[in-house]
Amino acid sequence: MKVIILCAGYATRLYPLTENQPKPLLPVGGRPILEWILERVQKVQGVEMVYLVSNQKFAGHFETWKASAKYPWTVEVINDHTTSNETRLGAIGDLAYVIRTKKLMPCDLMVIAGDNFFDFDLVSFADFGKKKRPHGIIAVYDVGDKELAKRYGLVKTAADGKILEFQEKPPQPATTLASSGIYWLPQETWSLLDTYITTGHNTDQPGHYMRWLAENSGLFAFPLKGKWLDIGDLASYQKANDIVKSSNPKE
């Protein structure tokens, strides 16, 4: 199994914090967001390699971070060579870029957006994915509030977790179950990614590909238990720091 961390965004909503610093390297509780993610990945057995895909502007920042990082597997920084928010490849475009440039052979992939902050167990998520092959898995989180749910891609599921419907930031949410930006794509789905891209579908927001997978192959949701934030603005960034501070009151 290989892990791909998506870190090639430009995070313009977090300016000035991210004008000269990639969002995944912003500190939360004194540690980069990226390290909180990798701490959870480290508990998953069978990880062979972690690819961290960045852009031209911030690839050097990640290389500098990597020089002192120590993990049981290699972390390789992949530069997608985009230079602005307008020319970015998008999440699915970057996923395909890593596969193509590294000439990866079909294998199970765990894909994680680099702005996720969470404390749940990725081991259970990976185990669930293995049980549901050949179908893909997405991690979902109940945000518990329909006003808040308007900010996210939402899913409706059957009793067995099969995804029945996607809603992308709907003005009137029918559910509060949000897609978290954490995906399990077994090797059986590799040809589907190529089909999706070559037939001209949207490669920016991953929700578009997940909706397509749900309709064409079947996709299951894994509910997260614990804390989760999509760090997309200053308020959510501050909330992440507050969560860490409250769990470590002496610090």
pLDDT tens digits, 102-116: 999 989 999 999 999
User: E strand or H helix at 110, and its extent?
Assistant: strand 109-113
Residue 78, C-beta contacts closer than 8 angstroms, at least 6 positions apart: 51, 52, 53, 54, 97, 98, 101, 102
Q: What is the pLDDT of residues 18-63, one digit of tens each?
A: 999 999 999 999 999 999 999 999 999 999 999 999 999 999 999 9
User: Which 3 state secondary structure label does DSSP give 37?
Assistant: helix
Is pLDDT at 251 greater than 60 in this prediction? no
**How much is the pLDDT for 226?**
85
Domain boundaries, the chain: 2-138+181-247
**How much is the pLDDT for 249?**
52
Burial of 248 (0-12, 13-18, 19+ CB in 10 A): exposed
Of the candidates 91, 110, 108, the residue with the CA atom closest to the CA atom of residue 222 = 110
Q: pTM for the complete prediction?
A: 0.92
Four-CA torsion 152, 157, 163, 166, nearest 10 degrees = -30
Q: Which CATH superfamily is domain 2-138+181-247 in?
A: Spore Coat Polysaccharide Biosynthesis Protein SpsA; Chain A (3.90.550.10)
**How much is the pLDDT for 31?**
94
Q: What is the pLDDT of residues 165-187, one digit of tens each?
A: 888 888 898 889 998 889 999 99
Distance CA 159, CA 165 (A): 13
